[in-house]
Structure 1
Amino acid sequence: MEEYIIKFSQYLKGEKNVSPHTLRSYSADLNEFLNFLKKEKIPLKVRYIDHLTIRRFLASLQRRGLSHATMARKLATLRSFFRFLCREEYLEVNPTLGTRTPKIAKKLPKFLDLKEVFALLESPDEKHILGLRDRAILELLYATGMRVSELVGLNVNDVDLLGGVAKVWGKGGKERLAPFGTEATRALHNYLMRRETLHPGEGERGLFLNKSG
Structure 2
Amino acid sequence: MSSSSPVVGVLALQGDVREHLVALAEADALARPVRRPEELAEVDALVIPGGESTTMSKLALLFGVMEPLRARVAAGMPVYGTCAGMIMLADKILDGRDDQETVGGIDMVVRRNAFGRQNESFELGVHFAGLPDESRPVHGVFIRAPWVESTGTGVEVLASLRTEAGVDHPVAVRQGNLLATSFHPELTGDHRVHAYFVDLVRAAGN
The alignment's TM-score, normalised by the length of structure 1, stands at 0.23
Work out which of the two has the higher radius of gyration on C-alpha atoms and give 1 or 2: 1
Higher helix share: 1
The alignment's TM-score, normalised by the length of structure 2, stands at 0.24
